[in-house]
Amino acid sequence: MTEFVPPLRDMQFVLRELCGLDAVVSLPGFDEVTDDLVSSVLEEAGNIAAEVIAPLNRVGDREGAKLVDGRVETPAGWYEAWRTLVDGTWNALPFDPQWGGMGLPHLVNTAVQEMWHSANMAFALCPMLTQGAVDAIAENGSEELKALFLPKMVSGEWTGTMNLTEPQAGSDLAAVRTRAVRAGDGTYLISGQKIFITYGDHDLTENIVHLVLARLPDAPAGIKGISLFVVPKVKIDAEGNPVGPNDVRCVSLEHKLGIHASPTAVMSFGDEGGAVGYLVGEENRGLEYMFVMMNHARLSVGVQGLAIAERAYQQARGYARERVQGRPAGSTAERAAIVHHPDVRRMLMTMKCQIEAMRAVAYEGAAAIDIAHHDADAERRAAFRRHYELLTPIIKGWSTELSVEIASLGVQVHGGMGYVEETGAAQHLRDARITTIYEGTTAIQANDLVHRKVIRDKGAGIGALIADMRALDGRLAEQAGADFAAIRTALADAVDALDGAVAWLLGPDGRDPVLTAAAAVPFLRLAGTVVGGYQMARAALAAATRLAAGEGDQGYLTAKVATARFYAEHVLPTARAWAHTATAGAAVTMGVADDQL
């Protein structure tokens, strides 16, 4: 197994050359955040990822989380690693100093999260879910609720979970049946069963803060009758001190394809009469709160897709450099490392170029969140809010689909050794495979993109993005040479394909709910492919500018241009195919009768 090396140089390149880290740290509210601070945070996080978290990845996969006498035990080393995060206040990175947060930009937190996930996806789900739970309470909870829970969740003394779905509900949260009854003292009594609860129980902390969707007896039917509650594993008094177990139980753990060390729990609330819960915000607005929070969580899962792809790439690259076998085409060497074989190189480059594209798009989304929250100008705040809301389903859906493809390529680079579990490549595929499913499947992301982000604003948001992408053409045209000519041609054609698909969505076919649902995933893949290509072109321009100025590492910057060219020749041509499938293909999706499937 290859050791994880934090890709700090690529991360810094994206932060500085593509996502305007300078501008982000200059936003109001980040007065204490300096360039040096960001670099040292990333470096130190990289050390922890590589030295503390990554070494637990394999043992976590082998041992898995275990349910013993009704309590979940995490694998050896998990507790100590969690303490490292708590002691270093790593969980507090993006949060308000009022609650003990470090007040760093979301952009920086995203880069740190990427490294946690690359190092050990099963472990990193715990801080990821906890940050999501903090967001949900911080954005919607009363001051009292915030004071009671946030300090300990921000520090990581307590962790957080999301209890959304139930056996009969799946992705359809309108079908949630868990009940909440007003207890009379301002609290509620919660009863019901929740499934697929990540880190629903564990032995890392003395308390776990469950965010639970439930329905009041007098609530309206459907999604407008769902409320959000905080239900701690251990009941607390008004000062937050533990006063005994709440009526919450982990019933069982799922036996999963991957992320074995991340306990996926069936949780039972209220077997003994009702678990004490605290309402978040107002009654019956739970789903609305969840949706706000989900934008962050979905971006996090997109980053997770990027991260596991990066790890799979490092594993494959390491193996390809070490494994000596056969004579590469065109070589005179009797034997050589397989990295010199053209098809191995093709696979590695396919991985690499898409990882760089994903990172650029994900970080751009994170930067947009910072601007949307911190910019002094209300119009800019609103514009960037729309921008990250547009990017969110793309980042989640596209990056996670790619993560599965990339992790699978990683196995292929290893040949037979990739199929042997000890090598580690197969684990990345098994782990990656969940990312297109949880926090909303790719289809759910795609429908969000098509309906809420494209059709609802009549193409305004995506039209602005398309205009930005077209505006790059002039700058690409100024660059000499075959690389930029190829990038420019491929990008222009791909943007046209996207533009055409948008026009189709905004035309008469876009008013047919069956057609748009059938078109949604291909459209999302199209959008991701093109937006990724745009960022790769920007990266190539940034590199060319530095090269022309004689600045920086020439080899590194030259490779950036060549990687963008590779993306243009190997990935962007799929845009036309996705566009065709999204539009012409939608009409035939339901063409075969049910009983003839």
281's tokens: 């915000």
Pick the binder of a copy of itself from 1, 181, 383, 437 (CB under 8 A). 437
Does 420 participate in binding a copy of itself (rule CB under 8 A)? yes
Do 519 and 450 contact (CB within 8 A), yes or no?
yes
For residue 269, the one-letter residue type is F
As measured in angstroms, the least distance from the Cβ of 204 to a copy of itself is: 23
Pick the binder of a copy of itself from 179, 249, 296, 352 (CB under 8 A). 352
Cα 409 to Cα 407: distance, rounded to the nearest angstrom: 5
Does 574 participate in binding a copy of itself (rule CB under 8 A)? yes
Cα 237 to Cα 324: distance, rounded to the nearest angstrom: 63
Does 565 participate in binding a copy of itself (rule CB under 8 A)? yes
Closer CB to a copy of itself, 368 or 564, in the complex: 564
From residue 52, how far is each of 46, 77, 130, 508 by CA, in Å?
10, 9, 19, 55
From its phi and psi, is residue 221 left (phi > 0), alpha (psi between -120 and 50) or beta? beta
Closer CB to a copy of itself, 127 or 522, in the complex: 522
Does 172 participate in binding a copy of itself (rule CB under 8 A)? yes
Does 379 participate in binding a copy of itself (rule CB under 8 A)? no
Does 220 participate in binding a copy of itself (rule CB under 8 A)? no
Does 158 participate in binding a copy of itself (rule CB under 8 A)? no
Closer CB to a copy of itself, 152 or 260, in the complex: 260
DSSP 316-334: HHHHHHH-B-SPPTT---S
Query: Pick the catalytic residue: 114, 166, 364, 439?
Result: 439
Does 282 participate in binding a copy of itself (rule CB under 8 A)? no
Closest Cα partner for 261 from 62, 85, 51?
62
As measured in angstroms, the least distance from the Cβ of 345 to a copy of itself is: 6
Q: Are strands 264-269 and 188-198 parallel, antiparallel or unpaired?
A: antiparallel
Tell me the window of 81-89, 142-150, 459-467, 558-566 that interacts with a copy of itself (CB under 8 A): 558-566
Does 421 participate in binding a copy of itself (rule CB under 8 A)? yes
DSSP 337: B
Does 558 participate in binding a copy of itself (rule CB under 8 A)? yes
**Strand stretches in 273-417, DSSP E:** 275-279
Do 202 and 250 contact (CB within 8 A), yes or no?
no
341's tokens: 């074989």
Does 512 participate in binding a copy of itself (rule CB under 8 A)? yes
Does 481 participate in binding a copy of itself (rule CB under 8 A)? no
Does 456 participate in binding a copy of itself (rule CB under 8 A)? no
166 part of the active site:
no
As measured in angstroms, the least distance from the Cβ of 310 to a copy of itself is: 13
Cα 221 to Cα 219: distance, rounded to the nearest angstrom: 6
Q: Which residues have a Cβ under 8 Å from the Cβ of 337 and sit 6 or more positions away?
A: 320, 321, 322, 323, 324, 325
Pick the binder of a copy of itself from 175, 223, 234, 492 (CB under 8 A). 175
For residue 307, the one-letter residue type is A
Residue linked to tokens 């100008």: 377
Does 516 participate in binding a copy of itself (rule CB under 8 A)? yes
The DSSP bridge partners found for residue 371 are none
CA angle 205–206–208, rounded 5-degree value: 75
Residue linked to tokens 């490779």: 559
Cα 438 to Cα 450: distance, rounded to the nearest angstrom: 19
Does 411 participate in binding a copy of itself (rule CB under 8 A)? yes
Compose the 306-325 pattern: x for residues touching a copy of itself by CB under 8 A, - for all others: -----------x---x-x-x
Closer CB to a copy of itself, 150 or 520, in the complex: 520
As measured in angstroms, the least distance from the Cβ of 366 to a copy of itself is: 26
As measured in angstroms, the least distance from the Cβ of 320 to a copy of itself is: 8
Cα 253 to Cα 71: distance, rounded to the nearest angstrom: 10
Tell me the window of 18-26, 80-88, 366-374, 579-587 that interacts with a copy of itself (CB under 8 A): 579-587
Tell me the window of 81-89, 104-112, 231-239, 556-564 that interacts with a copy of itself (CB under 8 A): 556-564
Pick the binder of a copy of itself from 186, 273, 474, 591 (CB under 8 A). 591
Catalytic residues: 439
